[in-house]
Structure 1
């Protein structure tokens, strides 16, 4: 049997890579490792077992999925600690755009908006049978 997928990293182009990085550090509790001198400049943001990679958009406007396609998040982080995270983010002043709730697709989730207007969900499937 082949190795299963292990992780996924979100890649976010941004007009102001340092401003976006600071938002993720200050408000969402990530830590940053900068590779701005690399051939393809980027900043890696880490929290727990997740990673977000920021790249420079070279002046291109960041357009969230909901604006491009009418709906959809720009990233989805799986967690069983939605209530704790929501409280942490609210205390830090993060904009919560969808409160913690159970969706019609059987996820328990909440959604924030980042400094670039991206909608990012934090949640998990409510039944393990659908995950197999």
Structure 2
């Protein structure tokens, strides 16, 4: 039997778990479910089929991938209808870092910045249709 990976969840440590959860609910349209009394307190954020798990840092500041490594997003969400989603997030006053465009790696994507400075990309690979064989 072939073993398949089914889904993936982002895990975002944050200094202020409630402030970050509120941002994701109010600005990005996620629904927060709190598990703050668990042995490992966390908040799950849900939107459509996507889940993000927030955990509390021990006071450490969030350092985005681009600051740690020189480039890179902190999460990449595969999505269709990027135009409508970008408009929704602009209307919610979310900071757009890169507007919707076709990348040099053939993805149609846009990038936003969350309240902790993370860069979140929303995109999809553009399928090239070539001539017959």
Counterpart position of 1:105: 105
Query: Which residue in 2 is equivalent to 1:42?
Result: 42
Q: Does 1:6 align with 2:6?
A: yes
Mapped to 2, the partners of 1:4 and 1:127 lie a distance apart of 23
TM-score normalised to structure 2 length: 0.94
Misfit runs of 4+, over 3 Å: none
| Structure with max Cα Rg | 2
Q: Where in structure 2 are the equivalents of 1:64-75 lying within 5 Å?
A: 64-75=64-75
Q: Give the direction of change, closer, same or farther, for the CA distance of 1:127–1:54 in structure 2 (3 Å limit).
A: same
**Cα RMSD (Å) of the superposition?**
1.2
Q: Pairwise mapping of residues 18-97 of structure 1 onto structure 2 (< 5 A)?
A: 18-97=18-97
Q: Give aligned pairs, total.
A: 129
SS at match of 1:68: helix
